[in-house]
């Protein structure tokens, strides 16, 4: 089955479900994703996801047994990766050429990723000279759907004294991204973990000669590389 056939005839909803399932499957390293989990993630009812999963199973994009966990077929994964590629290329374009800030791009990219034109995405890629990462630090899959999945180490998982570099951030919350920028953090920032407070799991960090206290919830959304 060719790539061209892959991206055909899917509705916006079908695409969003496949992408969501793919994201959950790589996030949850347990490798198990259930119906209600998917419903939570997409902010729809479990009945809605159950119904859509049936359609996607009939179309051979999803495999699962009744009451069992959800899996993607190779074709399902392929569609999801191409959507992620489009999403991240558009975010990059909006940031680098159209004066969007990193907190403004996700919502618009959620729409743009559903535009059906192989040529559009590949030409956009070429126009930007094949960028490797999006504005949030995420790797952009290439035209063949190949890409490195960076191991996601959260800032919150580090011990006191650890020194790391900011690799990527969760892109879905506008307020979180604005907050990151405001305190002066950016991709590649070098961060030292000064103290992890037992009482509320808040973390005292240092970066660019600045000290800040951030919550556990904040640190959960910051991904780092230990150095």
71/110 with CB nearer a copy of itself: 110
Alpha helices (runs of H) in the chain, residue ranges in sequence order: 3-6, 12-27, 35-42, 46-58, 74-97, 105-112, 118-127, 174-182, 216-220
**Is 110 a residue that touches Mn ion (CB under 5 A)?**
yes
User: In whole angstroms, how close is the CB of 54 to Mn ion at the nearest point?
Assistant: 21
Name which position in 79, 86, 106, 219 contacts Mn ion (CB under 5 A): 106
Quote the CA–CA distance of 145 and 179 in Å, as a whole number. 32
Binding positions for DNA, rule: CB under 7 A: 11-14, 16, 34-37, 43-48, 50-55, 64, 66-69
Q: Using CB atoms, what's the residue nearest to Mn ion? A: 106
12-27 vs 74-97: helix crossing angle, rounded to 10: 100
Give the side-chain half-sphere CA count within 13 A for 47.
0
Enter the tokens of residue 208. 């660019």
Phi and psi torsions of 175, nearest 5°: -65, -35
User: In whole angstroms, how close is the CB of 74 to DNA at the nearest point?
Assistant: 22
Name which position in 32, 54, 60, 116 contacts a copy of itself (CB under 8 A): 116
Distance, CA of 152 to chain centre: 11
The residue count for the chain: 227
**Is 115 a residue that touches a copy of itself (CB under 8 A)?**
yes
Which partner from the list DNA, a copy of itself, Mn ion, none does 205 bind, CB cut-off 5 to 8 Å by kind?
none
Quote the CA–CA distance of 163 and 20 in Å, as a whole number. 32
Name which position in 103, 104, 138, 171 contacts a copy of itself (CB under 8 A): 104
97/215 with CB nearer a copy of itself: 97
Enter the tokens of residue 76. 């399902």
Give the side-chain half-sphere CA count within 13 A for 88.
25
107/211 with CB nearer DNA: 107
Q: Which residue stretch of 124-132, 153-161, 162-170, 185-193 sits at the interface with a copy of itself (rule: CB under 8 A)?
A: 124-132
Q: Which residue stretch of 111-119, 137-145, 153-161, 219-227 sits at the interface with a copy of itself (rule: CB under 8 A)?
A: 111-119
Name which position in 98, 172, 186, 210 contacts a copy of itself (CB under 8 A): 98
Which partner from the list Mn ion, a copy of itself, DNA, none does 117 bind, CB cut-off 5 to 8 Å by kind?
a copy of itself
């Amino acid at each position: 089955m060719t790539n061209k056939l892959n991206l055909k005839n899917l509705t916006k909803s079908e695409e969003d479900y496949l992408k969501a399932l793919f994201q959950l499957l790589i996030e949850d390293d347990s490798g198990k994703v259930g119906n209600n989990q998917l419903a939570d993630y997409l902010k729809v009812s479990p009945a809605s996801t159950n119904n859509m999963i049936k359609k996607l199973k009939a179309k051979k994009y999803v495999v699962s047994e009744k009451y069992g966990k959800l899996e993607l077929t190779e074709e399902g994964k392929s569609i999801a990766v191409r959507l992620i590629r489009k999403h991240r290329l558009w975010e990059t374009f909006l940031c680098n050429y159209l004066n969007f800030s990193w907190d403004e791009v996700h919502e618009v990219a959620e729409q743009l990723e559903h535009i059906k034109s192989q040529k559009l995405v590949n030409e956009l890629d070429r126009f930007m000279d094949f960028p490797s990462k999006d504005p949030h630090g995420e790797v952009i899959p290439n035209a063949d759907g190949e890409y490195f999945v960076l191991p996601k180490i959260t800032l919150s998982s580090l011990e006191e004294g650890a020194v790391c570099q900011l690799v990527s951030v969760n892109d879905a919350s506008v307020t979180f991204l604005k907050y990151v920028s405001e305190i002066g953090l950016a991709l590649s920032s070098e961060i030292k973990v000064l103290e992890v407070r037992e009482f509320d799991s808040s973390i005292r960090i240092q970066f660019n000669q600045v000290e800040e206290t951030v919550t556990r919830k904040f640190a959960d959304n910051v991904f780092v590389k230990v150095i």
